[in-house]
Structure 1
């Protein structure tokens, strides 16, 4: 198994668990950590045996406190092609990614969670985009994704006041899928991942690409046409799993997905 300096990577069958591992600074990330995570997500995307990723934070205080401000003061903001945490600018990621948010998700940490497909939060989790209070703006996607997730006016109040949002409020607003006690957080995230893995990986990737990208970016009439041209949809139509699903159903057995 590859050893990393700023993250831990564990694989459980078809699920990759990525743990941001800088608990001494509330898992705040700097240039080297972002580059390392960019490589981790690239390997996950390229591995046909890994179908779902879960991102969480080490320690008992934070998911991620954002970009390490001391590093910004010393070296400026350094982001790899995949963006903050290697994920916020990875728009070609068609595999599902779950954020298991334990504690603070501030700045880039909140942006990392918003870049994931599903957010599960511990009951003590808090979210915020406080960048303006230190002279910055949430330019790793937070200013774009939060309004799309909860609506412009509600997002503006959170963005402009820089206030903290609790896990329960996040669920009420709609960007958090589930809130659980901290001790159940990873168990719940793994339950969701396992449920996703019951379906055809090719069909899941096609569903994510259409629902996550086309539905958000295109008018309905155009998206309806373009969905047939989406790369993940084309891949699904030539996947051996396209025949395996109906065959397994007719034979009354569990499908044996190839993942390809």
Structure 2
């Protein structure tokens, strides 16, 4: 395991898995300006590292992320976020590597939006989600107003967003924005998901994520035609992995993915 030093987050590499932990437990892992920049830098490094194929984001202590540091805003610090969005992720639309949220506690405001920007959400049964921005005179400007309706439907999303109501993890599972609920620490289940993803070709995984997300906003016929020209799909089709997979299947052996 390799770790990189930051002040407000920790980043560890476990083989091909990057584990990013928000580490401001005294502030329920709310992100101040410096924490945002550290998150953005960590995701930049993950995106650029050919040896890192999957990421997990979680929080230290009893919270996942309580959103923006409102004390910083009240002191005149504003709501500035990196160009890649809240936590360096919510506006990172070119990331085809999968990201898993291990939600270990409260995920409020931007913290909920951070989870919504992940591809898989594993939550502790004690986790709670909310977009409470209207309660403090703000709005969910880091993707919550766009991603939550796409995930659970407009009417159900409106009921949560217009009231700021807190949603327990099991209700989130029923609504559809949580993938799995576990008792206790969600990190082992998140690692299990990561292991299953890592057993697949990373080229295929990235092509799949890209095609799904880009296909959501266009007609089906258009998506089926355009997917062949998506960058990750073209890289997959021309990759060593596209040769290795069928060869391993024919030889009845496990594939050895090169990731290129």
TM-score category, normalised to shorter length: over 0.9
Q: Distance in 2 between matches of 1:182 and 1:16?
A: 21
Aligned twin of 2:65: 64
- Residue aligned with 2:29, SS: coil
* 1:236-251 alignment, distance < 5 Å: 236-251=236-251
Q: Does 1:2 align with 2:20?
A: no
- Residue aligned with 1:182, SS: coil
* The one of 8, 16, 19 aligned to 1:17: 19
- Residue aligned with 2:216, SS: helix
Aligned residues: 257
Work out whether residues 15 and 50 of structure 1, in 8 Å CA contact, stay in contact via their aligned partners in 2.
Answer: yes
* The one of 48, 51, 55 aligned to 2:50: 48
The structural deviation recorded for 1:72 is 1.4
The structural deviation recorded for 1:132 is 1.0
Q: Distance in 2 between matches of 1:194 and 1:179?
A: 18
Q: Distance in 2 between matches of 1:179 and 1:67?
A: 25
* 1:25-104 alignment, distance < 5 Å: 25-59=27-61, 61-73=62-74, 74-104=76-106
The structural deviation recorded for 1:93 is 0.7
Q: Distance in 2 between matches of 1:111 and 1:216?
A: 18
Q: Distance in 2 between matches of 1:127 and 1:67?
A: 14
Structure 1, unmatched stretches of 5+, are: none
Aligned twin of 1:172: 174
- CA deviation digits over 1:146-202, x for unaligned, max 9? 00000000000000010000100000001101000123x111000000000111000
* 1:164-243 alignment, distance < 5 Å: 164-183=166-185, 185-211=186-212, 213-243=213-243
The structural deviation recorded for 1:240 is 0.7
Task: State the 4+ residue runs in structure 1 displaced beyond 6 angstroms.
Answer: none
Work out whether residues 126 and 164 of structure 1, in 8 Å CA contact, stay in contact via their aligned partners in 2.
Answer: yes
The structural deviation recorded for 1:256 is 0.7
The structural deviation recorded for 1:75 is 1.4
Aligned-pair Cα RMSD in Å = 0.8
- Using the size of structure 2 for normalisation, the TM-score is 0.97
- Using the size of structure 1 for normalisation, the TM-score is 0.97
Work out whether residues 57 and 99 of structure 2, in 8 Å CA contact, stay in contact via their aligned partners in 1.
Answer: yes
- Residue aligned with 2:4, SS: coil
The structural deviation recorded for 1:11 is 1.0
- Residue aligned with 2:122, SS: strand
Structure 2, unmatched stretches of 5+, are: none
Greater shift, 68-77 or 122-131, is seen at 68-77
The structural deviation recorded for 1:8 is 0.6
Work out whether residues 129 and 163 of structure 1, in 8 Å CA contact, stay in contact via their aligned partners in 2.
Answer: yes
Q: Distance in 2 between matches of 1:22 and 1:256?
A: 39
